[in-house]
Structure 1
Amino acid sequence: MVVFVDADACPVKAEAEAVATRHKTKVFFVSNGGLRPSQNPLVEMVYVPDGPDVADMWIADRAGPSDVVVTGDIPLAAKCVEAGAQVLRHSGERFTESNVREQLAMRDLMTDLRAADPFRQGAGRAFSKSDRARFREALEMALRRVAST
């Protein structure tokens, strides 16, 4: 059982480390660099070369049924769900076989809409304390699900 965190721009790294540590579970923070190393022996920093989706490919190549993946990247989530991993957004929302394809289609639609109107820039809401709490709870549940299988 391992937790993989797509760590570039991940707002819940500290929460992921804390929950995984409680479960005595190894965590891989995968990024293109720029992250401070953790002193936690359960945390491994993985620095991949610059390039499109290099971190995503590293995670997708390794994630499987006994793992949890934390990402906001929907194509990566789809690959990891297909591989049998438990996959969570930063907000704690769970990607599943039943919702990931729909979210992938919505992402593609929004990309097309933004391309058609460059002034259409969505102003996302701020990441809140309740989002962090939801994430911690969701990761706790995901690790329990994986441990029980």
Structure 2
Amino acid sequence: MLVPRHRVVVDGDACPVKAEIARTVRSCGATALLVSSHAHVLVPEPSVEVVTVDASDQSADLYIANVLTKNDILVTGDYGLAALGLARGSAVLTPRGKEIRETDIEGLLEQRHFSARQRRGGTRTKGPRPFTDEDRDRFQHKLTTLLRGLQENPDL
């Protein structure tokens, strides 16, 4: 049996596509590492390892940042963590199926900072749109494409 060279590392606390990740890694011969705080109970399953960290702010992000490699695909909606993943050479995918690239991250971080400043100033900002089945399908398709691309080009 081949040992998977690639894994999907998941910021698991608020990830809505955990089931899709598990199915996809099994079908592609990869593995997943779900990282979450004690407040979220995740269950390990075949090809899916679960790591639970303490509930303090940023514990999951720090754990993930310390274990990421260039062979990983990071799944997160947190742009700060996405920037760390890109710096480690990991591919980064949001739960809605958007791949974040080096060319995107600066603008995304600026937008996050701008929105946070508005909220601190009392301005109400819109939250994310509702998560849809189309988002779920897009994510699974993109994750499958990334994993298959890594299998075909193992030196990436």
TM-score bracket, shorter-length normalisation: over 0.9
Aligned counterpart in structure 2 of residue 43 of structure 1, from 44, 48, 52: 48
Among all aligned residue pairs of Structure 1 and Structure 2, give the percentage whose two residues are the same amino acid: 33
How many positions carry a matched residue from both structures?
147
Q: 1:51-106 deviations in whole A, cap 9, x for unaligned?
A: 11110111111112111010011000000011110100010001111001110111
Unaligned runs of 5+ in 2: 1-5
Aligned counterpart in structure 2 of residue 99 of structure 1, from 96, 104, 118: 104
Q: Does 1:15 align with 2:3?
A: no
Two-structure CA RMSD over aligned residues (Å): 1.2
Q: Aligned partners of 2:32, 2:10: CA distance in 1, in Å? A: 7
SS at match of 2:69: coil
Q: Aligned partners of 2:96, 2:59: CA distance in 1, in Å? A: 23
Q: Aligned partners of 2:127, 2:32: CA distance in 1, in Å? A: 31
Contact 1:67-1:146 at 8 Å conserved across structures: no
Q: Aligned partners of 1:87, 1:28: CA distance in 2, in Å? A: 14
The runs of at least 4 consecutive aligned structure 1 residues that moved more than 3 Å come to none
Q: 1:104-127 deviations in whole A, cap 9, x for unaligned?
A: 111011000111115x04243210
AA in 2 matched with 1:57: L
Q: Aligned partners of 1:67, 1:127: CA distance in 2, in Å? A: 25
SS at match of 2:135: helix
TM-score normalised by length of structure 1? 0.93
Q: Could you say which residue in structure 2 is the equivalent of 1:134? A: 138
